[in-house]
């Protein structure tokens, strides 16, 4: 039985993770952590005896095997440092940390401890990125449009950044960016990530969506993924929670757990 601590339990993703862990026969929720928690209040209709505001206290009291973190870019680094130094494997979906920071955090952990990070835990999103990387070998002119709810803290999304990185790795050469004319307003044609234009949209009513549009003479190709509900991320999160105990160091991307 894997003992799980959920950090950021009052957030929408955190609440979904709490429910998913509680519904799993092979996982046991031992603690929920959030700075806004009232220890006398049930979290997400789950009657857990271990609700904490302080992560260090929660780890010391409940000794989890895995911490799942869906918090905020400003909080996640501190959370990971506490958990990893305690030898707790971490499954992280909070974006905003650089690759260098992730490497440093993983190196600070005791040997055998794993920091698993995925910019997106939806299986469909992983397939979208895989298909986009494959298409880039044949249609290197591409732009990425990512759309998220208006409470998302970072832009571009981690998924868009990862998609751009994968596309850049697979292109035989980097073509000149398509002519855009003069920007009347700075940023109108998007940001550049690894030589690829990325556009971020934030609106209420959205969850997590991304399309990758390839262009070539006389044709376009669009690859799109939509998460319509946060339950779409839960199979990927639970897969990582179950697998992370057999991994070590920094591991990035749900695709590393999915095989071929």
Taking the C-alpha atoms of residue 96 and residue 119, their distance in angstroms, rounded to an integer, is 9
- Residue whose tokens read 């990125």: 129
CA-based nearest residue to 32, from 194, 178, 49, 163: 49
b/e burial code for range 184-205 (CB count within 10 A of at least 16 → b): eeeeebbeebeebbbbbeeeee
Sheet with strand 66-69: strands edge to edge: 51-52, 27-33, 2-7, 66-69, 89-92, 114-117, 249-252
Asked about 137 being catalytic, the answer comes back as no
To which residue do tokens 């939509």 refer? 226
Q: Which two tokens stand for residue 36?
A: 């806004």
From 19, 148, 225, 243, active-site residue: 148
* φ/ψ of residue 153, rounded to 5: -85, -20
What gap in Å lies between CA 74 and CA 136, rounded to an integer?
Answer: 34
Vertex 26 angle, CA 241 and 244, to 5°:
20
Catalytic residue among 3, 12, 72, 152: 152
Give the residue numbers annotated as catalytic, written as ranges: 148, 152
């Amino acid at each position: 039985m894997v003992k799980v601590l959920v950090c950021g339990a009052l957030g929408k993703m955190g609440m979904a993770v709490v429910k998913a862990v509680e519904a799993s026969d092979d996982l046991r929720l031992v603690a929920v952590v959030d700075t806004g928690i009232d220890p006398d209040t049930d979290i997400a209709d789950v009657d857990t005896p271990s609700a904490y505001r302080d992560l260090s206290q929660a780890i010391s009291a409940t000794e989890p095997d895995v911490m799942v973190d869906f918090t905020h870019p400003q909080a996640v680094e501190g959370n990971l440092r506490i958990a990893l130094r305690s030898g707790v494997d971490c499954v992280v979906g909070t974006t905003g940390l650089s690759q260098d920071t992730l490497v440093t955090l993983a190196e600070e952990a005791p040997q055998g401890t794993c920091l698993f990070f995925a910019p997106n835990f939806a299986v469909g999103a992983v397939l979208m990125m895989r298909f986009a990387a494959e298409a880039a070998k044949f249609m290197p002119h591409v732009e990425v449009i990512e759309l998220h709810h208006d409470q998302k803290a970072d832009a571009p999304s981690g998924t868009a950044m990862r998609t751009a990185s994968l596309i850049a790795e697979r292109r035989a050469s980097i073509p000149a960016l398509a002519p855009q004319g003069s920007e009347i307003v700075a940023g109108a044609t998007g940001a550049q990530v690894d030589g690829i234009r990325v556009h971020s949209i934030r609106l209420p009513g959205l969850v997590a969506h991304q399309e990758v549009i390839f262009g070539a003479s006389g044709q376009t190709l669009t690859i799109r993924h939509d998460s319509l509900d946060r339950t779409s991320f839960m199979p990927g999160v639970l897969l990582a929670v179950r697998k992370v105990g057999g991994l070590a160091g920094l591991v990035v991307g749900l695709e590393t757990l999915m095989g071929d």
